[in-house]
Copies of this chain bind each other. A is one copy, B any other.
Amino acid sequence: MSDRRVPEGYDPYAFEPFAVTADLAVLTVREERLQVLLVERGQEPYAGSWALPGGFVLPPESAEQAARRELAEETGLSEATVAGLHLEQLRTYSEPDRDPRMRVVSVAFTALVPDPPEPRGGGDAAQARWMPYDTVRGLAFDHDRILADAHERVGAKLEYSCLATAFCPPEFTLGELRHVYETVWGVELDRPNFRRKVLTTPGFVQAVEGPPRLTGGRGKPAALYRAGGATTLHPPLLRPEGRPA
């Protein structure tokens, strides 16, 4: 940034102002599907349309702080939950005509949540709910594109980071972790190979000591693991077949 166009006695109101918003693509894996948190708009433009949650960045906030606040307001997640959430900046959308009313620049974030509570539709949103990613179309503004970019980014990050654990509860089985990859990538992975890769990568997961097994599903009970300290995968866990992007 720079003020080279701004004379000493610059009047901030002399220019057409820009509004800055923070929007969130909140993703989760539920019921074997990738799901997105959406809100229904109550006002024009796009009244009645579904949109990504988000809202204006207020004067004392950073974009990320605004994103966390809006998420808490609109979904009923507790402040503590939102504060500990894995939130990552996706990119900024600044096309001049993306909002019909005025100039709005949107800083988009991606959030990954495990086993989410039902959203309450609070705040200013008419209602809020989880929707399966592949059934979502026709969102307000350019939110279809933001959502697609978020999906692509998350899919790519799974390859070379330990991000997948952010989709899982604190303790999880390797089957659950594998489901995350399969759901986001839309492919099936070989169980033994996936297991070998995860367990031989130092710091990806760590075994839980106490009760060595968990029951609940159909097959043989699985051991529980916690997220390890590592954040990146070397070498990466590449998608089979297709190219990323």
Which A residues have a C-beta under 8 Å from some C-beta of B?
A: 1-6, 8, 10, 12-13, 15-21, 23, 39, 41-45, 51, 53-57, 59-64, 89, 91-92, 94-96, 98-99, 101-107, 123-125, 140-141, 160, 231-232, 234-236, 238, 243-245
Contact = CB atoms under 8 A, between A and B. Distances in A.
A105 to B, nearest CB: 5
Contacts of A23: 1-2
A200 B63 CA distance: 44
Main secondary structure of the interface of A (DSSP, over half): loop
Contact of A61 (B59, B96, B104, B124): B96
- How many identical subunits does the complex contain? 2
Contacts of A21: 1-2
A15 B20 CA distance: 11
Given A20-B94, A92-B63, A95-B62, A243 B234 contact: yes
A42 to B, nearest CB: 7
Given A89-B92, A94-B107, A245-B232, A101 B55 contact: no
Given A57-B94, A91-B92, A160-B160, 13 more contacts: A1-B104, A2-B51, A2-B54, A2-B140, A4-B124, A5-B124, A17-B17, A17-B18, A18-B105, A59-B103, A89-B91, A94-B107, A234-B244
B1 A106 contact: yes
Q: List the 3 closest pairs (A to B, CB-CB), nearest first.
A: A17-B17, A4-B124, A1-B21
Nearest to A89: B91
